[in-house]
Structure 1
Amino acid sequence: MVASGVVIAADHDEADTTSFDDAAADIGDLYAFHDGERLTLILTVDGYKLRTEETVYDDGVLYGVHIDTDGDNVADHDLWARFGSNAAGEWAVQVEGIPGADGPLVSPVDEVLEVEGGASIFAGTRDDPFFFDLDGFQDTLATGTVAFNPERDFVAIKNTVAIVVEFDHAALGSETFGVWATTGRQAQ
């Protein structure tokens, strides 16, 4: 049996329901990996910024990372992140819902916060780890002949905003899991 439905997904540059004028809500990538007992989740947004461009954080966007541990495609853990600033214009990130953490964690941007119990968070501007030969892609589309060149990387001089959460994998209560990310903006 084959079922069909509407699926809305993001590519590295622009999600179907996001426009270029809302870069803060535009998901670039979601990475999930573990090193020993540690699980690291990295959500990147607002990609393809030149390194000379100033990072703009947006307190109107809610970033979600959702974890399904029982294979039913419903989140068993929801991690929520949001940026905010104080009266001095200093930005921080708050992340809540981290498995094994007691309450939300708050850290200034561009600083790693590690807490007792093994959770840590980071948010800030980083070199975009994605690799893409844009010229090769366009040449391939135009000619029908594969024209990718590993020496050309359109993303090599670009930055992205990264939200990083790390915690003990055992806190999920499952060895296997599925993970996806969402962004949302509060209606005006």
Structure 2
Amino acid sequence: MKKTKIYLGLSVLAVVGVVLIAADHIDAPGTTNTTADITDFYAFEPSEGSDNTVFVVDLQTNVMPDLAYGSFDENVLTEINIDTNNDLEEEFVIQAIPRDGKMYFFGPVAPSQTGLNGEVMVDFPLGSVDISATTAIVENTTDGVALFAGPRQDPFFFDFGQFNQVIGGMAPEGFKAADEAVDTFEGANTMSLVVEIPNSMLGETTGMNALGVPVYKTWVTTNIKQ
């Protein structure tokens, strides 16, 4: 089996469930403002009763519309980890790595090793897509997979200025009402990876959410080449 060099894990963000979101907009200095910095991770059904799952990974933030769009780092491997037997270890990974203006996806496949470190599973191509710039490009494969890579508007609504005032003890009135709050991230973009994939490619899962609904336990990591 062909593989590339070891990729050392830098950042991780997890969700559990059919329609769940995790966000992390301030990361360690080694990843901030690079595409090793995970800002959001979403996993959901595209519609009720769908046989597909959508994974959305947002990387870095503050890619402002009036500036040049950020770019994906070719030394960073992004890995969506999927647990299907409820042991909190990944049975499958979906990997994404950029090369020369395209994003290449691999998997879903059992990883060569579990945990933070990994290798690109080049023998298991899922598909590729041109990295979008100002126009969104979606690639649909013959296996029913849809792929996207490029800038998208940051979905995070947060009054960061008021938050700092509150935690600094400078705002005894607390947080502002929704109609008075300022969306600090309005107009900002993230660099996004999107994979819509048939559940048949992920297999059955024994994981359950609080409502007793079967779910995949899933998390995303970013890894840098060593």
TM-score, normalized by the shorter chain, greater than 0.5: yes
Q: Distance in 1 between matches of 2:106 and 2:87?
A: 23
Q: Which AA in structure 1 matches 2:67?
A: E
How large is the Cα RMSD of the aligned pairs? 2.0
Q: Distance in 1 between matches of 2:26 and 2:36?
A: 9
- Residue from 150, 158, 162 that aligns with 1:124: 150
Say yes or no: does 1:83 pair with 2:103: no
Residue in 2 aligned with 1:133?
159
Unaligned stretches of 5+ in structure 1? 1-7, 86-90
Residue in 1 aligned with 2:200?
170
Say yes or no: does 1:182 pair with 2:192: no
Shift of 1:98: 3.3
Residue in 1 aligned with 2:131?
109
Asked if structure 1 preserves the Cα contact closer than 8 Å seen for 2:38 and 2:58, the reply is yes
Which one scores higher on RCO, CA 8 angstroms, separation ≥ 6?
A: 2
Q: Which AA in structure 2 matches 1:33?
A: F
Are the structure 2 counterparts of residues 23 and 14 from structure 1 closer, same or farther at C-alpha, using a change threshold of 3 Å? farther
Q: Which AA in structure 2 matches 1:78?
A: V
Shift of 1:47: 1.0
Q: Distance in 2 between matches of 1:158 and 1:25?
A: 18
Say yes or no: does 1:45 pair with 2:55: no
- Partner-residue secondary structure (3-state), 2:34: helix
- Partner-residue secondary structure (3-state), 1:165: strand
Task: Count how many residue pairs are aligned between Structure 1 and Structure 2.
Answer: 172
Unaligned stretches of 5+ in structure 2? 1-10, 14-22, 110-123, 206-213
**More helix per residue:** 1
- Partner-residue secondary structure (3-state), 2:77: strand
- Partner-residue secondary structure (3-state), 1:105: strand
Residue in 2 aligned with 1:69?
84
The C-alpha deviation readout for 1:105-141, integer Å capped at 9, x for no partner, is 1110121110122111100001011111102211211
Q: Distance in 1 between matches of 2:29 and 2:85?
A: 28
